[in-house]
Chains A and B, each alone.
Chain A
Amino acid sequence: MSKESSTYRYLKESVPVLLLCGFGLMVAGMLFGLMVETLEDHPGILVLIPAIIGMRGNISTALGARLGSASHLGLISTENIMNRDSMVNIKASLALSVLMGLLAGVVAHISLVALGRDSSGLLVLVSISVLAGFLSGLALAAITLGIMVLAFRKGYDPDNITGPLLSTVGDIITLLLIFGTATLIFAIDNAIVR
């Protein structure tokens, strides 16, 4: 692989993907911008959002990057995409989602209380972050494998594709799931209190 072709590949494969991601992220941003009322009514959600989206992105892009490296090393390909190497990676990413969701919920509540600001409660924040974290992790693992297969077939270098696509689709899915699970948990919470 010569230097010129590598630069050309970067531009050809990355710029369209980045633009696509930019517009995808704008959709995520608009969801964020339209959920002003939920953010106002339920204290603590705004604190959790960067943490949940961040850990989701981190866990899933690390998964994509490890699978990308695995494909470069010849461990996985289109024919054996569901083999032991990819399954170990996916299970680990789901276990990490649950652990990190727990951490995020607990620390978000503690930090709000410590700073003397309103929190919707420990159990509520933990349930939202664990549930939204796990569900988005599951969705993203499936999407990762899909993107890998597509990248193999089109002959793209997965490194130039999976990371950005996953983090963008991940942001949209995760924001939707945070608000979905938040709505659900608050409904359950209200039902129990009444």
Chain B
Amino acid sequence: MSHEDDKAWESFAKKAESPRIPTPKEAQEIFDAAGTEALTSEVSASIAEQVLAGKLRGRAPRCANDDWLKAEEQRYLRDGVRQLNRNKGDEEAEDDDVLDRLKSEALDDDDDETSAEN
């Protein structure tokens, strides 16, 4: 990614933020025009408990594709270690296969990017 592309986007995104934080007057208008979503008494009680305790009930942070990430990270670490520990003259067919696969995946990434652009 070009740093210049990011800078250009971020400078405009700041001015065109949407939804932007409303002014006090707008916020009051939004509130007045709003519908409602009912809460059960259990949920209301839970919220009151959290507010008075001064902290939200702990919830494990989410991470999308968590399992995929774990598997991918493990594979990359394993392959990276294999590559780092490879001494000149000690090449093994299995290591060569891994390197070929990594090169092929890197090239595939380029292909994905090109096809996504088209």
Say whether A and B bind each other. Answer: no
Residues on A close to B: CB < 8 A? none
